[in-house]
Structure 1
Amino acid sequence: MHKYKELEIWKKSISLTKQIYLITSSFPSEEKFGLKSQINRASVSIASNIAEGAGRNSNKEFNQFLGIAIGSMHEVETQIIIAFEVGYLQKELRDKVCDQVTQLILMTKGLKNHLV
């Protein structure tokens, strides 16, 4: 078992989720059950899967959950791009969040490779 709260990827994913919630709070009210809900859930899924995987009995299982977390990272990135394309975000904010996600993906892949 790994101590997920000590993992830098978990800490960064919590920070990303907080930022996503702040960003989506300014989305139009008609997005409450659309893009806003989807991107919030996807961002929560990142830290949740890291934590759940860390609590599993083997590195193999942890590795699988890290893969799921990476999938959620790509989902968040896609939804941020969509939010920009429909006019909910400025380019600078889109780029900042996408850079954060890219860094988190690389870090998580590094941990996955270490677990193998």
Structure 2
Amino acid sequence: MLFFRKYTAFSIQFAAMKKESLKEKIIKLSDEIAQQVYPLTYKFPREEKFALGDQLRRSIISVPANIIEGAARAGDKELKQFLNIAYSSLKEAKYLLYFALKQGFIKEKDYLAIKPKTEELSKLLYVFLEKLKS
């Protein structure tokens, strides 16, 4: 129940938005986040570039890739499936970013610049998935 309350005001704000414009906004924001996160992983310590860095790169690239692939599919059922994968990958990337921050692999200012965008994208994906249900 807490999850639904958290997104209620945000959901109302985007409820009137058409599917296509919402889809475009989601694609643009997910790409922006990926473009911002990807280069940060190459600043990780050498031993982490190919462990945590690789995992973070894969999860963050998976977000826009799955959204775009789902958008290219014919039906809402397939789109919903790919959006769910993108949502899960985003949640994974959010945790990996937090972990990298706590380990000192990324600067707090970089983390704080990305975090609000990931929160917004989470909400947009949630709203879009709800639109597909109705």
Three-state SS of the structure 2 residue aligned to 1:11 is helix
Cα deviation for residue 114 of structure 1 reads 1.4
Q: Return 5+ residue gaps in structure 1 as ranges.
A: none
State the distance in 2 between where 1:21 and 1:91 align.
16
**What is the CA distance between 1:25 and its match in structure 2?**
1.9
Q: Distance in 2 between matches of 1:83 and 1:20?
A: 11
Deviant stretches of 4+, over 3 Å: none
Q: What per-residue deviation string (whole Å, max 9, x for no partner) do you get for residues 55-106 of structure 1?
A: 2221111011111100011011000011011111222322322221110010
- Aligned sequence identity (%): 31
Once the two structures are TM-superposed, the CA of residue 111 in structure 1 deviates from its matched residue by 1.2
Greater C-alpha radius of gyration: 2
Name the residue aligned to 2:114: 97
Alignment deviations for residues 6-59 of structure 1 (CA, whole Å, 9 cap, x no partner)? 711111111111111121121112112201100011011001110111122211
Alignment of 1:28-47 (within 5 A): 28-47=45-64
5 Å-filtered alignment, 1:1-116, equals: 7-116=24-133
**Amino acid in the other structure paired with 1:61:** E
Alpha-carbon distance in structure 2 between the residues aligned to 1:89 and 1:27: 7
| Higher relative helix content | 2
- Indicate conservation of the 8 Å contact 2:41/2:49, yes or no: no
> Residue 87 of structure 1 aligns to a residue in which SS?
coil
TM-score (norm 1): 0.89
Question: In 2, Cα distance between the equivalents of 1:52 and 1:22?
Answer: 23
The CA distance in 2 between the partners of 1:85 and 1:32, in whole Å, is 16
Structure 2: gaps (5+ residues): 1-18
RMSD of equivalent CA atoms: 1.9
